Structure 1
Amino acid sequence: MSTTTQSRSPVRRGIFWLGLVMLLAGLGLLGYVAWEFYGTTILSKERQQDTTSKIEQGWDSGQTEVTTEFGSAEALIEIPRFGKDYRIPVLEGISDDALGAGYGHFKGTARPGEVGNFALAGHRITHGEPLRDMPELREGDEIRVLTKDTTYIYALTTDGDDLVVPFTSIWVTDPLPDNPEEGGVEPEQVEGQRLITLTTCAELFHTDDRMIAFGKLVGEEPTP
């Protein structure tokens, strides 16, 4: 064997192992992306269903607020435009656990049916993506908020994609959201309203901006 052949062998082995490491790293990255986009959604949909069942069972046993492993809950959301089987739990707070099992209710904002702003957050992509189709919502669409005894019916006053703001725009969760941009999208500026606000990511692949939809209470009925 020549000296040249011997010197090339370690180089070839190095290239082989480097290529193998890069291949495995690429496969690992693809696996991570697949988990984020599909695995988390499958897991979260199971959590949504389990949490919904626990809330319904709690109501049947007389509980108004039900404690789950993902947080306390007192409401379920139905949006007819998203289909007759759409029923998503609302968890208190906007922690990762809460948002991974349904909607998160911004602490300090109004409760269902109360005067003020019942403000909710939900994922648009991954983790169950309850607001994936937010841009399809239209003014007048119903948002039904079920509690143990009463179902509150809100109607959107904006389309789902009428307003996009930076994630730092906390005014959207105020009791009466007042857009600082002159002529910007906002609820009717009348005190004493019973409002609902839906917030989600405006972009599918990064989270710098939020898509916002506003609505107001238009009716209520006994929860079946």
Structure 2
Amino acid sequence: MRVSVVQHSTRRWRARRRRALWAGGEVLVTLGVVLLLLVVHQLWWTNRQARDGAERRVEALEREWGAGGAEDRLIDSGTSPEASEEPRAPEPPPVAPTTTTRSASRPDPSHAYAILTIPRLDLRVPVAEGISKPDVLNKGYVGHYPGTQQPGRAGNFALAGHRNTHGEPFRYVNRLDDGDEILVETRDAVYTYAVDQTVPQTSARDTGVLRPVPRSLVHPARGYRHPGYYLTLTTCTPEYTSTYRLVVWGKLISMRPR
């Protein structure tokens, strides 16, 4: 009877191969766990953290505005343009509005100074100056495009917000229909806009949507031709990408003092 002889070198090679396969498997499992944790962090934890922070900021603004007496709301017509530029009726002015404001009325960068409410989406988030991701958008805030108008003034009050992750305040803005109300609250007034037009998809470089009289440069049929009091909401589309932009426009329909 013949007995097969297995050389020591062959056994060592097989042992090394088994160890290599085992080590490779461990590396793949570890990478899978790390990727899963990253996905959980990005899709769940950042949302929870940003939403909690945004809710606290909204509550802080409400307390701040509620604590102020009537004397704190008096507007000096010589220093604040709101006393003369806030429209009492949402009719377009006879001349094209300007997007510049006096330095005294410009909010500090990254400072939350207003509250955006969209009843249809059950959304209530702070509005901060600027569109910086780390300082504004990633906090779950909605950011005001510098250079565009302030709420209630002639021109275009333009805002940006995340559609996915970091609170995703604009996750469902695609569900808005014509006539849906959007409220913007400041220390002194509440401005109500009504959704009027939507651009489901346009280029990220379509700067026409931010002009004083907003009009898409990619889709010229979408937008406006006459000065007025406009609100613009922008976010990324399709979901979980930043390739294109979704745009919602509204017109001012009413204003009431707080």
Higher radius of gyration, 1 or 2: 2
Correspondence for 1:134: 173
CA contact (8 A) 1:163 1:185 kept: no
CA separation in 2, counterparts of 1:178 and 1:203? 21
Q: Which runs of 4+ in 1 moved over 4 A?
A: none
SS of equivalent to 2:36: helix
Q: Per the alignment, in what secondary structure is the counterpart of residue 107 of structure 1? A: coil
Structure 1 runs not aligned, ≥5 long = none
**Residues in 1 aligned to 2:53 and 2:219: alpha-carbon distance in whole angstroms:** 41
Q: What CA RMSD, in Å, does the superposition of the two structures yield over aligned residues? A: 2.1
1:14-25 equivalent positions in 2, closer than 5 A: 14-25=20-31
What residue is the counterpart of 1:99 in the other structure? 137
Question: What corresponds to 1:122 in structure 2?
Answer: 161
Q: How many residues align?
A: 215
Note the 1:37-76 alignment, pairs <5 A: 37-62=43-68, 71-76=110-115
1:180 Cα deviation after fit: 2.9
1:149 counterpart = 2:188: yes
CA distance in 1, matches of 2:231, 2:142: 13
SS at match of 1:8: helix
Query: Counterpart of 2:151?
Result: 112
Structure 2: where are the runs of 5+ without partners?
A: 1-5, 74-104
Q: Which residue of 2 aligns with 1:165?
A: 202
Matching residue of 2:80: none
After TM superposition, give the deviation of residue 57 of structure 1 in Å. 2.5
Q: Give distance in 2, aligned partners of 1:104 and 1:183.
A: 25
Hey, what's the Cα distance between the residues in 2 that align with 1:124 and 1:7? 54
DSSP-derived class of the 1:157 partner: strand
Q: TM-score, normalised by structure 2?
A: 0.78
Give the equivalent residue in structure 1 for 2:255.
220
- For residue 59 of structure 1, report the CA deviation from its aligned partner: 1.8
Distance 1:180 1:166 in 2: 9
Between the aligned residues of both structures, percent identity stands at: 34
Q: State the match for 1:180 in structure 2.
A: 217
Q: Provide TM-score, normalisation by structure 1.
A: 0.89
